[in-house]
Structure 1
């Protein structure tokens, strides 16, 4: 799949729309590196929440962000040298990540790190503002969406498979809350880029979504 090398593809969308899963599969099929930006924000949110740093701008947050280091490994995210990968997908982090991610100082902290990942091999980057803020020059911008009920069901199944105890109603309420925070925040609110391709994934399997995106990518590559 060397013909796809060099392409910069962004995949944005709300929580539970399948961004990370789809992006990883596309990365494998196309031979393009994958950047899980959600993991970066979750890692910092976990770190700050564990240290009882409130999700608000101020000197305490500034001091912590100035001192903290975040590094990407092949299958891990390190914060100050600690592998936090196993902690960042918990319901506790689900509940706080949007509030931290809305902070301008935290977004500035990660902006250069994210952009530095785009090299000659290309990149597939998933998140909430990849196509609008981080990589506005991307070759192809995709916005995945699905109903809140569908996204909550996916997340609930994922949590149950990991042994987490929660109800579908609790997960649905968390999805609704995160949608409100992500869409109403002042800095980089969740929205599709004007030139993004929007794909509603309701009723589609992961394999079907991946195939549709592969067709889009191939068409864009051939234009």
Structure 2
């Protein structure tokens, strides 16, 4: 009985430490301020982040583990991380520590260093048409726009200046109302991506 109570308490504590977060872009540049994040498939268990308009997706933030996650194909889970300056969801364990300071996302203790960039040489070349979310400790490329990521607390677009959104097909398991970014250029539909873990991880 004591063991059962301990397990129950531990499970309750884990649930209490997890909450939904809705990330939106805050920037002095009006062309991206208020944007939300889409995340089309770009590699083996990788979904890179791109900026667009529409409703923000609910991600799971675990305060105790200091990580953001999202369900992937089958029983897999993806984690918010950074690979070679690319901000992505990955099925690999996150190598980052995420906290929030007044609802602003801090990665490894810093709320700075996030940028919206084009022509990043991403695998499917989505960034030739859409801003990609990148992270640079220093010396961001010329033309990249500095930004912060804010937990808006709801799926609603955070800026009244954003155009109305309509449903868009997506190769990424993101919000169905997400539009205006690389997600629309993906080569396969969501059904193909989610058909099975093996196919999705290729």
Fold conserved between structures, TM > 0.5: no
TM-score of the superposed pair, with normalisation by structure 2: 0.27
Higher strand share: 2
Identify which of structures 1 and 2 has the higher relative contact order when contacts are C-alpha pairs closer than 8 Å and 6+ apart.
1
TM-score of the superposed pair, with normalisation by structure 1: 0.25
Higher helix share: 1
